[in-house]
């Protein structure tokens, strides 16, 4: 009877560990399909690293502009280190594909936003449901949030 009890306890512990480890691995991966969350415009304070949200007035203007243009962005990060970004605005869809690399929390998607200017993307937060970036471009911090689809 004790042996059956011991085996049951071991089995339950193994199953619990499997779910726990799977959850940890999922939290560490950029792989998946992500939708850009446009609900908050923010940057990052250089000295503290904390998010700084724009004023309510600026947010209202941003919301009106994105809604008026029908802006939507879907980013698919694949396990083979390729990605596809699909942006819809003003009824037109633009698709960009390429390769990415992730070294620590530095994400390089090799996208020159302006000729001769390199953008640096730091993955600030990554959970199974949310990915937050600090995209530094032309020496300006831009906070970007994606939600898992």
pTM of the model: 0.73
Overall size of the chain counted in residues:
149
* DSSP single-letter state for residue 29: -
pLDDT over 60 (residue 31): yes
Q: Are 135 and 142 in contact (CB under 8 A)?
A: yes
Would you state the pLDDT for residue 114? Answer: 65
Q: What is the pLDDT of residue 132?
A: 94
Distances (CA, A) of 90 to 29, 71, 72, 73, 119: 32, 7, 10, 12, 25
Q: What pLDDT, on a 0 to 100 scale, did the predictor assign at position 145? A: 93
CA 59, CA 78: separation in Å to the nearest integer?
32
Is the pLDDT assigned to residue 30 strictly greater than 70? Answer: yes
Q: Is the pLDDT of residue 93 over 70?
A: yes
Across the range 62-74, mean pLDDT stands at 92
User: At residue 79, does pLDDT exceed 90?
Assistant: yes
- The predicted-structure confidence for 105-134, as pLDDT tens digits, reads as follows 999 887 766 667 777 889 999 999 999 999
Determine the pLDDT at residue 88: 94
Residue 10, pLDDT > 50, answer no
pLDDT recorded at residue 142: 86
């Amino acid at each position: 009877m004790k042996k059956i009890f011991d085996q049951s306890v071991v089995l339950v512990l193994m199953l619990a560990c499997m779910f726990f480890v799977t959850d940890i691995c999922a939290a560490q991966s950029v792989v998946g399909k992500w939708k850009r969350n446009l609900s908050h415009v923010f940057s990052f304070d250089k000295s503290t690293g904390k998010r700084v949200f724009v004023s309510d007035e600026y947010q209202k203007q941003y919301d009106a502009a994105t809604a008026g243009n029908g802006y939507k962005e879907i980013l698919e990060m694949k396990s083979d280190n390729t990605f596809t970004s699909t942006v819809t605005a003003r009824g037109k869809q633009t698709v960009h594909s390429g390769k990415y690399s992730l070294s620590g929390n530095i994400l390089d998607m090799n996208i020159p936003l302006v000729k001769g200017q390199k953008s640096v993307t730091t993955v600030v937060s990554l959970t199974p449901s949310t990915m937050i970036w600090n995209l530094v471009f032309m020496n300006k911090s831009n906070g970007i949030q994606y939600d898992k689809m």
